[in-house]
Chain A
Amino acid sequence: MIVPQLVFWVMAVIAVLGGVGVIASRQPIRSVLSLVAVMLALSVIFLELSAQFVFAVQVIVYAGAVMVLFLFVVALLGPMRERATGRLRFQWWLGILVALVFGGFLYGMLNGLRFRAPAKVDLSFFGTVQQIAAGLFTTYLYPFELTSLLLLVAAVGAIYLSRGGRTASEIQREEEDRSA
């Protein structure tokens, strides 16, 4: 059957076009929406690779929550257009050069890849919520608990950073109110 390859190719084309859109569009809002397209295309490929739970998490948490956070920030900061020329103009060529060299390394690695024989696993249960949960709550319990600590620290840090501190003029006005 040709269907798995067809689905993969369609999603791969969408993902690559979205990736080009992320780095090529001048307005941040278009970059964010292109990244949402990339994530949804990748989530379909996850489903093909029998990662059902990661598929659901990708759609709900990543495309649903993280990207909405990005959209909120874009809406909060207003339209930001990038100027055509920056202060470091050689950066552009250097960046392309570094990426090309890095791409050459990745291509070489991909060509030299020797796949190991897969384990004998019943594929109808592979990647289900039960199996993920069995892994997360037994073997990888400590890393799992540590990620919850990481999320707590990130939440506290975000609240601390965005707690509207008073500006100098506001403090002065409060002092004037108190003396009046």
Chain B
Amino acid sequence: MPDYGQIPVGTGTLDARLVLGLGALLFILGTIGVLIRRNPLVILICIELMLNAVNLTLITFAAQLRNLEGQLFALMTMTVAAAEAVVGLAILVDIFRVRDVDDVDELSELKG
């Protein structure tokens, strides 16, 4: 049985498992960042890192299956990420106009 995981790249090949592993590693780094950092701006940046890792996975599978849908989906993800960044940063700036926040745990006014 041939190894379908080898993606032809130029004159050589690239193992899809390596690229998928890189995507998983970057996603986990982003997860750690979201969980342990407390600066709201850095949390947004870590979410962007996770979205990039997902894009890498989508494009790897698109190249392995020779199916363009993965790339189209990656473009949609980029659009959603841009919208998310815009709205998230607007909310952040709005909060900072009222008071300085250097820890998201300080934003607990809605606690019942």
> What chain A residues lie within 8 Å of B84 (beta carbons)?
154
Judge whether B93 and A96 touch: CB under 8 Å.
no
Selected from B17, B22, B92, the residue in CB contact (under 8 A) with A15 is: B22
Rounded to whole Å, the gap between the CB of B106 and the closest CB of chain A is: 8
Chain A interface main SS type = helix
Contact with A along B74-91 (1 / 0, CB 8 A): 111011111111110111
Q: Which of A38, A61, A158 is within 8 Å of B52, CB to CB? A: A38
- What is the distance, in angstroms, from B32's C-beta to the closest C-beta of chain A? 5
Q: How many residues of A contact B (CB 8 A)?
A: 86
Question: Number of residues in B with C-beta < 8 Å to the partner?
Answer: 79
Q: Evaluate contact between B78 and A38: CB separation under 8 angstroms.
A: no
**Which of B18, B59, B92 has a CB less than 8 Å from the CB of A54?**
B59
Q: Which of A75-94 contact B (CB under 8 A)?
A: 76-77, 80-83, 86-88, 91-92, 94
CB–CB A115/B59 < 8 A: no
User: Would A28 and B41 be within 8 Å (CB), given that A66-B82, A127-B71, A147-B79 are in contact?
Assistant: yes
Residue numbers in A under 8 Å from B60 (CB-CB): 49
Whether B68 lies near A73 (C-beta < 8 A) is no
